[in-house]
Structure 1
């Protein structure tokens, strides 16, 4: 089991209240340890691009994942049958040829836990809310998971946040404010479960949240994906 490799990692509290497969727990605990350490490498980079930060984050994760039965792949292709496939920023892939999580199986090419990265704030005109939703196309981090553009076969995924202005408290309130607006305007797709909930008090250089996100219906049944949110402040 992937969990066997994580027994030397401090157990985080982000998973409290969410029943997880041990393999997912292993990846979450890995991120909880190594993402704050990565911050020390990029501290002060308040104008660095999302692509630059995420490329280095993926390399840093892999450098520290040598003894773990999973690795990370930057710009992981979602659908190998088309040359126009979306790409998620970081995919988590098992080193074995197949892994089963809950009732779903993933082969040697599949990401079983995907991560999308966003800068806070997102620079550019009309991109302020892109952590949640895009302006004129589905480019929002949460939106892309909810619409199955990313992680259509996943039950768990994550959004990485690089805070380059303000602080975590500001963005926690602001993002939930944007979701409140969406609940009023599109209540058939956004609801209170989409809002971020902090799972433990702020500590160190990492802020951690969780949201349970309704997705488009699958086989006439409601479907949800649990998103784990990890933020570091680069200021």
Structure 2
């Protein structure tokens, strides 16, 4: 099992109270540790595009993940059988031909933990809220996981944020404010659990949150995906 092979490799610390599959926990701890280090490499890039930053991030993560039994793939195709499949910004794949996470099996071409990236703020006309929801199109990071456009077969995934203006507290209040507005206008689709919760104390480089996001449409009240949110600041 991936988690068994990672046991003797140093990693970060996940916040207390999160009981998840050991393989997922290993990847989350890895991302938490190394995403924070990545911020030092892109400090000051306050106008860099999301695609350029994520391309650099994926290359960086793969370089430092060399001893680990997983790797990262930029613009991972969600449905290889479709020529018009959506692409997740970064997929996480096992170096083994198969991995079991909980009660689900993933083969060598399946991402078992997907990552979507967004700039804060998202530039462009009517795109300000794309961390949460898109304008006329389902381009929002949280929205795409809720609707199964990304991570349809996953219980856990991540959204990373590149803060290029303001600070973590500003965006925490802003993002949750957008979700609160959606709760008022679409109460059957958006709920309090969709809001970001602080996982632990943030530092100057990294902020950590989580949310339990109900699927749209939901099969039951427990039909959710847990998202881990990691933000770095590029502001000097």
Q: Any unmatched runs of 5+ in structure 1?
A: none
| Alignment deviations for residues 36-80 of structure 1 (CA, whole Å, 9 cap, x no partner) | 111111100000000000000000000001110000000000001
After superposition, where does 1:14-29 map in structure 2 within 5 Å? 14=15, 16-29=16-29
Quote the residue 1:56 is aligned against.
56
Are residues 7 and 33 of structure 1, via their aligned partners in 2, closer, same or farther at CA, if it must alter by over 3 Å? farther
For 2:69 and 2:21, the matched residues in 1 are separated by: 15
Quote the residue 2:34 is aligned against.
34
What secondary structure is seen at the aligned counterpart in 2 of 1:67? coil
The question of whether the paired residues in 1 share the 8 Å contact of 2:14 and 2:25 is answered with no
After superposition, where does 1:200-219 map in structure 2 within 5 Å? 200-217=200-217
Quote the residue 2:69 is aligned against.
69
Asked if 1:158 is matched to 2:166, the reply is no
After superposition, where does 1:34-113 map in structure 2 within 5 Å? 34-113=34-113
What displacement does 1:154 show? 0.2
TM-score, normalised via structure 1 length: 0.96
The question of whether the paired residues in 2 share the 8 Å contact of 1:13 and 1:200 is answered with no
Q: Any unmatched runs of 5+ in structure 2?
A: none
After the TM superposition, which of the residue ranges 142-151 and 200-209 deviates more from structure 2? 200-209
The question of whether the paired residues in 1 share the 8 Å contact of 2:129 and 2:178 is answered with yes
Quote the residue 2:146 is aligned against.
146
After the TM superposition, which of the residue ranges 24-33 and 69-78 deviates more from structure 2? 24-33
| Alignment deviations for residues 151-200 of structure 1 (CA, whole Å, 9 cap, x no partner) | 00000000010000000000000000000000000000000000000011
The question of whether the paired residues in 2 share the 8 Å contact of 1:9 and 1:33 is answered with no
For 1:126 and 1:150, the matched residues in 2 are separated by: 22
Over aligned residues, Cα RMSD in angstroms? 1.2
How many aligned residue pairs are there? Answer: 233
4+ aligned runs moved over 6 Å, structure 1: none
TM-score, normalised via structure 2 length: 0.96
The question of whether the paired residues in 2 share the 8 Å contact of 1:163 and 1:232 is answered with yes
What secondary structure is seen at the aligned counterpart in 2 of 1:216? coil
